[in-house]
């Protein structure tokens, strides 16, 4: 018999399992390459590392919430199985302030995590670098302690203090960066010396070090008059240094960089990769059954972690089973999947919003409708008056940005337009865009679409 759980507690468990900002547990992972244009992280990123005799530098992006971190964690597991020493970190957790980030912040973050992950006691070039510059840098670490008087752990911790203070003191950030930038070339040299020494300290069968820097795609673009944007400064002007580390590196990058006139220059300086959306509709407007099945599986895997028996009542009550139904019927679940547009985080958010309208299981069609309408309002507020016709034409033609048109790119970055990829029967890659399903239901959009179709 199913152990009776207070309805509110069970709802809370389900709600928590669909937390949008957290990558799923390994058991909840769903392989979606068949509906992502055959995109697969091991083939796209992992094999470049495994097959290259020289250090590689890759840029990786995708829309916020499409599953980038989930794939990077899979890459980490794969590389560790292949005997690589992997240092993975989410840069915005402790190291950078996304609203105001600079190349120096990223370099320091990489330095901090490498020196913390591999503690060299004898010859440590990074600690020697810090020691030689301690008088000029100790005010950034907010300490008057002599560097030589610190233990190994204490010396290593100074890198964390510097990155923390860079993030936490915006009024002093410019001054602090000037000090770091003045020492950047020597820091890169010391970092590479450290990596080479660290390689020697690893096990005999180690294939080398891989650095994975997540969440750099959250950096906001900033500009000062007469100067390049921070995006250009980080990824273009500093490409030689970003790509010049003596180990394999994967950096995340803001998606706006990939969908801009800078894309070709990025491709010249790095290997570049974009994680596609899950295709839940075909270009002719029909439902993509495999894509919908994958979205449904994303839900099932999370429900299974709470109580496997709930999968039997996922889409309604089953006579003879003493388990509460999760959804009142299959149409409610399917509608949530369709309205997500194939965007994983949107699906998670829709389910959580539907639970907000649910006092006890099942999640009803009415609760799902309320969640959809609330989220639809957000998209309606996002669209400018001049953009309705652009969206209507994109829907009518089933193609989005053309020649990097600024208006289409802006709508793509706001996820008002969604991009999908697939290989046709001749193995030609097809890329197409359509309006987000939530926007399709907005009366203003429908009015403009009717006019566009009448032309």
Domain positions in the chain: 7-19+279-381, 40-274, 384-454
Residue 8, pLDDT score: 59
pLDDT of 403:
47
> Token pair of 395, please?
């829907």
**Residue 269: burial class (beta carbons within 10 Å; 0-12, 13-18, 19+):** middle
Q: Cα–Cα distance between 374 and 31 in angstroms, integer?
A: 30
- Burial (CB < 10 A; 0-12, 13-18, 19+), residue 295, is buried
pLDDT of residue 167: 85
Backbone angles phi, psi at 409, to 5 degrees: -60, -40
Q: At 29, is the secondary structure helix, strand, or coil? A: coil
Distance of CA 227 to the CA centre of its chain: 28
Q: Please tell me the distance from the alpha carbon of residue 139 to that of residue 265, in angstroms, as a whole number.
A: 38
Whole-angstrom CA distances from 279 to 348, 372, 394 are 17, 19, 17
Which residues on neighbouring strands pair with residue 212, listed in sequence order? 88, 250
Structure tokens at 2: 């199913």
User: How far is residue 89's CA from residue 210's CA, in Å, rounded to a whole number?
Assistant: 11
Predicted pLDDT of residue 3:
47
- How far is residue 197 from each of residues 53, 108, 150, 205, measured CA to CA in Å? 18, 19, 22, 16
- Kindly report the CA angle at 309 between 370 and 301, in degrees rounded to 5? 65
d(CA 258, CA 266): 8
Question: Which CATH entry fits the domain spanning 40-274: 3.30.750, 2.30.30, 3.30.1360, 3.40.50?
Answer: 3.40.50
pLDDT tens string, the chain, 455 residues long: the values are 344 444 558 899 999 999 998 888 889 999 999 999 999 999 999 999 999 999 999 999 999 899 999 999 999 999 999 999 999 999 999 899 999 999 999 999 999 999 999 999 888 999 999 899 888 777 777 777 788 878 889 988 988 888 888 888 887 788 778 888 888 899 999 999 999 999 999 999 999 999 999 999 999 999 888 889 999 999 999 999 999 999 999 999 999 999 988 999 999 999 999 999 999 999 999 999 999 999 999 999 999 999 898 898 888 777 777 778 999 999 999 999 999 999 999 999 999 999 999 999 999 999 999 999 999 999 999 999 999 999 999 898 876 455 457 888 889 899 999 999 999 999 999 999 999 999 999 999 999 999 999 98
Instruction: Record the pTM.
Output: 0.92
| Cα–Cα distance, 403 to 363 (Å, whole number) | 44
Contact 344, 351 (CB under 8 A): no
Cα–Cα dist 368/349, whole Å: 11
CA distance 33 to 294: 10
Residue-wise DSSP of 112-152: HHHHHHS--SS--HHHHHHHHTHHHHTTTTT----GGGS-H
């Amino acid at each position: 018999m199913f152990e009776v759980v207070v309805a509110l507690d069970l709802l809370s468990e389900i709600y928590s399992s669909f937390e949008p900002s957290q990558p799923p547990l390994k058991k909840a992972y769903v392989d979606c390459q068949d509906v992502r244009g055959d995109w697969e992280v091991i083939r796209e990123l992992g094999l470049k590392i495994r097959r290259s005799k020289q250090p590689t530098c890759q840029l990786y992006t995708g829309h916020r919430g499409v599953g980038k971190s989930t794939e990077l964690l899979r890459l980490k597991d794969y590389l560790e199985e292949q005997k690589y020493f992997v240092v993975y970190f989410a840069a915005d957790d402790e190291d950078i302030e996304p609203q105001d980030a600079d190349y120096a912040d990223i370099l320091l973050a990489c330095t901090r995590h490498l020196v913390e992950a591999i503690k060299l006691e004898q010859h440590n070039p990074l600690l020697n670098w810090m020691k030689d510059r301690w008088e000029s840098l100790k005010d950034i670490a907010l300490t008057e302690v002599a560097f030589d008087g610190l233990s190994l752990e204490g010396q290593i911790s100074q890198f964390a203090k510097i990155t923390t203070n860079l993030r936490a003191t915006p009024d002093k950030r410019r001054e602090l960066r000037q000090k770091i930038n003045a020492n950047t070339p020597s820091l890169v040299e010391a970092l590479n010396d450290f990596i080479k020494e660290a390689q020697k300290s690893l096990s005999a069968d180690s294939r080398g070090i891989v650095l994975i820097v997540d969440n750099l795609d959250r950096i906001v673009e900033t500009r000062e008059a007469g100067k390049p944007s921070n995006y250009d400064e980080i990824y273009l002007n500093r490409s030689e240094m970003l790509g010049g580390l003596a180990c394999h590196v994967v950096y995340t990058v803001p998606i706006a960089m990939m969908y801009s006139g800078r894309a070709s220059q990025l491709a010249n300086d790095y290997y570049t990769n974009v994680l596609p959306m899950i295709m839940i509709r075909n270009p002719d407007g029909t439902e993509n059954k495999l894509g919908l099945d994958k979205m449904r599986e994303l839900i099932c895997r999370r429900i299974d972690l709470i109580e496997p028996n709930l999968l039997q009542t996922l889409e309604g009550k089953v006579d003879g089973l003493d388990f509460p139904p999760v959804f009142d019927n299959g149409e409610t679940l399917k509608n949530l999947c369709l309205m997500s547009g194939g965007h994983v985080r949107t699906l998670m958010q829709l389910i959580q919003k539907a639970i907000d309208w649910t006092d006890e299981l099942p999640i009803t069609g009415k609760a799902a409708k309320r969640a959809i309408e609330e989220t639809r309002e957000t998209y309606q507020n996002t669209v400018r008056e001049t953009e309705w016709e652009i969206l209507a034409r994109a829907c009518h033609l089933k193609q989005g940005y053309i020649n990097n048109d600024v208006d289409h790119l802006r709508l793509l970055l706001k996820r008002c337009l969604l991009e999908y990829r697939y290989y046709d029967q001749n193995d030609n890659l097809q890329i197409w865009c359509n309006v987000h399903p939530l926007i399709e239901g907005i009366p203003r959009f429908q009015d403009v679409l009717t006019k566009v179709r009448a032309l």
